[in-house]
Amino acid sequence: MQKYLSLIIYGTVLVLFVAFGIYGCSGYPAQKKLALTQAVEEKGYTEVTDDLMDKVQLPTKVEEQITGNAVADWFIPLSYVLVGFAMIAAIVLPLVYTVTQDPKSLVKIGISLGVLVVVFFICYAFADATAIKTTDEEMSAEGSKYIGGVLIMTYVMIAVAFVGAIFGEVSRSFK
């Protein structure tokens, strides 16, 4: 089972890599043509032809920027998909293993998730609900309260981890 699962994961990553490679590289010719068109127009020509675009040499910096954009167009969406795929696999695979091997341990997982939800709602209650207006957008009071709750929960979880690490080290030293 594990061998086939590994092959499925590797195959999926390979297919995604090829698909996003084709997607990213497909934008390169259009970006280069746009840069050549702009270069011809900057030289003062009113009509842009293929002959003029062939004669224009793009600066190395512009050529590198176009290549960098094509690579970014390829790797950034691919990284989003792969991170999402890894997150789903990190949640689903242990649950499948737990259900098949030790279903009673699901109670512990449920209790842990319940504690996290309760901690979030406590932190959410303490969060400030002030609407924030920047030059571009306005954040609602509800959005501000949600973000504040998540930040406070992050601080609480960091503090709990820190205290737990210290407590663990101190208790081990007395054993």
Q: Which of 101, 124, 146 is at the close of a domain?
A: 101
The predicted pLDDT at position 121 comes to: 93
Query: Do 84 and 112 belong to one domain?
Result: no
Tokens at residue 100, please?
């098949």
Q: Answer with the residue of higher pLDDT: 31 or 158.
A: 158
Distance CA 109, CA 20 (A): 36
* pLDDT > 90? residue 122: yes
Query: Do 165 and 136 belong to one domain?
Result: yes
Query: Do 4 and 73 belong to one domain?
Result: yes
**Predicted confidence (pLDDT) per residue in 32-51, tens digit:** 777 777 777 777 777 777 77
* pLDDT > 90? residue 156: yes
Could you give the number of structural domains in the chain?
2
Provide the terminal-to-terminal Cα distance of the chain, rounded to the nearest Å. Answer: 42
Share above pLDDT 70 across residues of the chain, in percent, rounded to a whole number = 85
* pLDDT > 80? residue 161: yes
- Tell me the pLDDT band of 120, cut-offs 50, 70 and 90: very high
Query: Do 11 and 74 belong to one domain?
Result: yes
Q: Answer with the residue of higher pLDDT: 5 or 87.
A: 87
Query: Do 111 and 92 belong to one domain?
Result: no
Query: Do 114 and 92 belong to one domain?
Result: no
CA gyration radius for the chain?
A: 27
Q: Which domain holds residue 167?
A: 103-175
Query: Do 71 and 109 belong to one domain?
Result: no
